[in-house]
Amino acid sequence: MMPVSPKGLMYRRAATNLSILLAVLCALCSAARAQDLVDPDSPDAVVERYLQLHGLEDLRAAQLRERLMSAGGSERLEIAENLGDIYASMLGDNISPQRRRELETLSKELFKMVPSVDSFGLRIKLAKARYLPAERVAERWRLELTSPEEVTEAQRVLGEVRKVFDDLARSLTRRIDGLKRQQRRGSEIDQSKIAAQVKAAISQRSSAHYYAGWSGYYLALLDDDANEARKAEVDLGWMLGADGRTPSLEQLGSALLRYEHVGWSAMAIALCKSLEDDHGGAISWMRELEQSSELTPRLAISCSHARWRFWHGPVAGMNLRSRSLPNAPRALCRSRMLVCSVF
């Protein structure tokens, strides 16, 4: 065996030390990778922030779907909620019908993968994102600025989201009833926590009924369907305290019109009555709105819109019981309305 020179011994020791250092670094990297799911500075989190900063939402969604496959616990729920927000944002964009259907499918798959996600809030958000572009098409249809294909797609979307909102409203009613039963069981229950859950569920139910009503109105407008308009009235009536019944003018008088969603619901009810050929009722509801001192500025401006004034004057003096009001219903239901998202 050849003797090792001092220089060779130095190189051998350096190689040994380097091996130890590499082993330590590998161990540290493995530990870092194990903490990626909870570390805000993990590679996954850094990549997600980069994609979000540069507006690369398709890539960000793909990255989140991949992370969702292996994530667990609260991290899994957080990823699912972020992914749902991305889908909602994409659905609100001006996209092709094919792309819209792809996103709708991805949204459904998300709820199947993570059933424990806050389904009510996220489902309402996704349905609302689908509704808003269809609303814009319906408003452009008033001005004869749409193609038949656009109208057909809007009708499909409105019909589907109307059902989604109605189903959510019924499910939330069952949840509210169940929570209230828990409240009555005794002092062992955390009453403040249950009360907060009831309040949140009531708010979500109102939101579901509100958009179900507006979806129904636009569907009735595009289909010229009086029955659909009557169903929309019932949904919108929840904002006025009708709770599943057709709302009345007396309920409008006592409604809190300073809350914007209540005022817009009342206006939608007037529009629905116009589609039902109840022209006198439509005028009465609009007049009641105009005379209210509690309207928000945006709603007050809409009520005094030039087109409304154009037909309101001559029609108001006629016999409102007559069914021969010239051009009145179309003047109302085709007038350009500012429809606002208030939830």
Between the alpha carbon of residue 231 and those of residues 213, 228, 239, 255, the distances in Å are 8, 5, 14, 20
Helices (H), the chain: 6-34, 43-53, 57-70, 73-91, 97-113, 119-142, 148-183, 191-223, 226-237, 249-254, 260-275, 279-291, 297-303, 306-316, 328-333
- The top-scoring range by mean pLDDT among 71-75, 78-82, 218-222, 282-286 is 218-222
Helices (H), 190-296: 191-223, 226-237, 249-254, 260-275, 279-291
Residue positions counted in the chain: 343
Task: Tell me what pLDDT residue 189 has.
Answer: 62
State mean pLDDT over 288-317.
62
Task: Tell me what pLDDT residue 316 has.
Answer: 35
* Cβ(339)–Cβ(265) below 8 Å: no
Dihedral of alpha carbons 331, 336, 340, 341, sign: positive
State mean pLDDT over 91-106.
87
Query: Domain residue spans in the chain?
Result: 234-316+327-335
How far is Cα of residue 305 from the mean position of the Cα atoms in its chain?
A: 28
State mean pLDDT over 243-257.
86
State mean pLDDT over 63-82.
85
Burial of 216 (0-12, 13-18, 19+ CB in 10 A): buried
Residue 212 has pLDDT above 90, yes or no: yes
Q: Record the tokens describing residue 15, joined without a space.
A: 């190689």
Residue 32 has pLDDT above 60, yes or no: no
Residue 155 has pLDDT above 90, yes or no: yes
Q: Show the CA angle centred on residue 340, arms to residues 338 and 343, nearest 5°.
A: 170
The C-alpha atoms of residue 87 and residue 102 are separated, in whole angstroms, by 10
State mean pLDDT over 121-133.
92
Q: In sequence order, which residues have a C-beta less than 8 Å from that of residue 37 and are 6 or more positions away?
A: 44, 67, 71, 72, 75
* Cβ(21)–Cβ(13) below 8 Å: no
Task: Tell me what pLDDT residue 291 has.
Answer: 84
